[in-house]
Each structure stands twice: as C-alpha cells, then as structure tokens.
Amino acid sequence: MLAVAVTSPVILAQGLGNSPYSALGIGELYSSGNVTNMGMGGVGISNASSFYLNLQNPALLARRTRFTVFEVGLIGETKSLSQYVSNSLQSQRATAGNLGYLALAFPANSRWNIAVGLKPYTYVNYSTQQRTAIPGETYTAEYNYTGSGGLNKATFSNGVRITKNIYAGVEASFLFGNITYSSDSKVNTDVTQTDVSVTHLNRVNYSDVVWKLGAAWRPKLSDNWTLNLGATYDPQTRVKATQTDIYQKNYIGAIADTLRLNSDSRATFPHQMNFGISLEKNNTLLVGVDVGFQQWSQFRTPDNRSGNLMDGMNIAAGVEYTPKANSNRYRDLITYRLGFQYNRLPYSVNGQQINDINGSLGLSLPLGSYLVNHVSLAIVGGQRGVLTGTQIREQYVRLALGFSLNDWWFRKQVID
C-alpha cells in the first residue's frame, strides 16, 4: 500500500519547491544516492554496505549478501530565495517534499545481484514575473514565466562479482515524464480599454531507455584495511520526445493556434562520468572522495537547440563511523556520517557559473530482529548562487528519511 501511494505521478511531480534555475535544461537533478550517501556528502561511487543498497554504482550490488533488501527514501526541503531587484533585496521562502526512491534488491546467485527501483530524476518548478515600462507610453508590460513537471526513472540494475575483488554492473532505466513551460505577456492599460495578452504553452513528453555502466575494485591492504575504487559512465543518449506548442492571443473571440501537436523529435542528454576512492576498516570506519563530470554543454533540446548550459563538475568527501560492528550493544551499532560537497552547476548568469556548496550530517539506527534493519536520517545545509548582479541566492536545508528492510528470501525450510 505504501508503494502504491508514494509512486503516484502526482507525488513524483511535486519537486522540491520553487527553483528559478530549474527553468534551464531538463530541470533540477535529484541526488543519485540514497539517504545514507546523502549523510556523507553524496559519496557512493566506490563504497557499499551489506545492509544498504548502492544506487550510484550498479557494480557494487554484487557486494550484497544473501539478504533481500527493500528501501524507501523520502526527501523534503525548505529554502530561502533572494535577489537584488532595482537595488532592493527581494526574498521568498519555499518548502516542499517528495519521494526520494523506492528500490528492491535480491540475490540471483552467490555472484550476481539484481535490483529494481523507481525514483524521480529531475523536476521543474518555477514561477517568475517581470514588469517593465513601455518607452514613450504610460503603460507597463507584464511578463510571466512558469514551468512544472519533471522526469522519472524506472531502473533495472545488475551487479556481478567477476573475481574475488573485481565487480562490474549495468543499469537500464526507462526514463519518462513531461515538462510544461508557459510564458505570457500583456500590456496593462487603463480600465477603459481591454488588455491584450499573448500566451505560449510548450509541453514536452520524454520516454526512452538510458544506460549506466559501473565497475569497482576492492584490493585488501592488510587484515584490517581495504581500498575501494569505483567508476560509472552514463553514455550520451538521444532521448525520444514529443512536443506540443500552442500560441494564443487572449481577447474577446480569440482562439488558440496549435503550431505542433505531439510532434516527434529527440533530445540529446550528455555523457557523465564519476570516479570514487575510499578507505575502509573492518566495517567500522570509511573515508571516501568522489569526483564527477557532466558535459551539459552538449545538451540539445528536442528542437536541436543549445540549452544554454555549461559543463558541470562535483567533488564530494565523506566519513562514516560505526563504533563496533560486531558488538551486541545497541549503541555500538549506530552509524554516524559527516560529509561535504562542492558542485559547479551547469547554470550561468551573465557569463558567471553558479556554484553550490553544502555540508551534511547523517545517522542510521538499527531496528528489528538481529538489528539488520535500519532507519536512516540525513540533513544537508548549503547555498548556491551569491547576491551579486542578477544572480539568485538559494539557502536551503534538506532533510531525508530512509528505511532499509533486510530479510532472507527463497530459503528452503528444513523444519516446518
């Protein structure tokens, strides 16, 4: 019942509140990791755990034991948006929440694990208004821009242990969803005249299969220490899209003019690469760093136009600590996390690229029989953009709650 409720398209489309930057490209990207990764800066390309799913590198699915795991993640955000308009500081607050992910993983055999999942990929949610004076007239022009929707992913992942310490994986995702952009302009005249406005509505539906490849290597450095190396690659993909364009002049007797109706085309999604390295000590201490590169300058709209984006880059560092993993005392099994992340976003304002800097804290509490189930919490606080020129500054606090439920499936009963 929970799965049916949280996977409603209405919930998936809500996003994380008003974000003017989501007007660019295909919108804001969600974190690719789960709640445990978010608590340590998003680090997860090289590291994995037997108790939690790794949603960032499909190769590390093969590190899982014979447990089947079901995970649900919820995410919420509150933010403050500020901008200088005519030398006056304007501010707005926004709060929203959404499903973070829903996933199930189970072993196919001792070397091969399979996972299926559903998660939002991007969201578009913005509403802006601009008023300007018309030269030589007493009237003003008003412009309104809004956007809504987003893309989702239904994933099917496989991770295989090739040798004792080498892993490979592949993820196939069905990408689907729609984004609606609306813009209108009108002249505000006196009350004795009829205002005339022009509206443009553009709706794009996306549906196609995209891929991710992963690899990992875990050489033992000593009896206590293990080195983890990982990498993922998302190849460039031409994604199927259908567009509808409608123009309408609003006045008495006006009708809409449909320029395109479900016109088939393709959008170009760029390739992305991620690399990770971490050092692990007997399931008690892990320190890791991830680096990612996204060539968003190669993104093309369904009209084969540039999305006015720049290449992105991110660096994440995090630490995870469990006091005593083989203890029977509850407090020894609580896991603590700390992380930092720097993102060079693909957005540009007046030629200046926008940066996002944040820090995070995380916690996992064991639950249930044998304490193999966990409830995880993560809090991320950060800022992107600065109050210079026409940039919009976003200061945000993001909260995430996740549940990891482990059990043995397909066990042959010896005694009934």
How does DSSP assign 350-397, residue by residue? TTEEEEEEEEEEEEEEEESGGG-EEEEEEEEEEEES-SSTT--EEEEE
Q: For 322, which DSSP code?
A: -
**What residue type is assigned to position 179 of the chain?**
I
Rg (CA), the chain: 24
Contact 222/216 with Cβ under 8 angstroms?
no
Q: Which two tokens stand for residue 128?
A: 């802006």
Per-residue pLDDT of the chain (416 residues; tens, 9 = 90+): 344 444 444 444 457 778 888 888 899 999 889 999 999 999 999 998 888 888 899 999 998 777 899 999 999 999 999 988 878 888 889 888 899 999 999 998 889 999 999 999 999 998 888 877 777 777 778 888 999 999 999 999 999 999 999 999 999 999 999 999 998 888 766 654 556 778 888 999 999 999 999 999 999 999 999 999 999 999 999 999 999 888 887 765 555 566 667 788 899 999 999 999 999 998 899 999 999 999 999 999 998 888 889 999 999 999 999 998 888 888 999 999 999 999 999 998 888 899 999 999 999 999 877 788 999 999 999 999 888 888 889 999 999 999 999 887 655 566 65
Q: Which two tokens stand for residue 105?
A: 């993983």
Measured CA to CA, the distance from residue 331 to residue 374 in angstroms comes to 13
Measured CA to CA, the distance from residue 351 to residue 5 in angstroms comes to 43
Contact 160/112 with Cβ under 8 angstroms?
yes
**What residue type is assigned to position 341 of the chain?**
Q
Assigned CATH for 2-356+385-405: 2.40.160.60
* End-to-end CA separation in angstroms for the chain: 30
pLDDT value of position 252:
54
Q: Residue by residue, what is the 3-state secondary structure of 11-70?
A: HHCCCCCCCHHHHCCCCEECCCCCHHHHCCCCCCCCCCCCCCCCCCCHHHHHHCCCEEEE
In Å, what is the CA distance from 396 to each residue of 8, 108, 190, 346, 358?
A: 26, 41, 41, 19, 9
pLDDT value of position 246:
87
In Å, what is the CA distance from 102 to each residue of 2, 10, 167?
A: 10, 16, 24
User: What is the H or E stretch that residue 9 is in?
Assistant: helix 9-12
Contact 64/113 with Cβ under 8 angstroms?
yes
pLDDT value of position 257:
66
Measured CA to CA, the distance from residue 208 to residue 240 in angstroms comes to 6
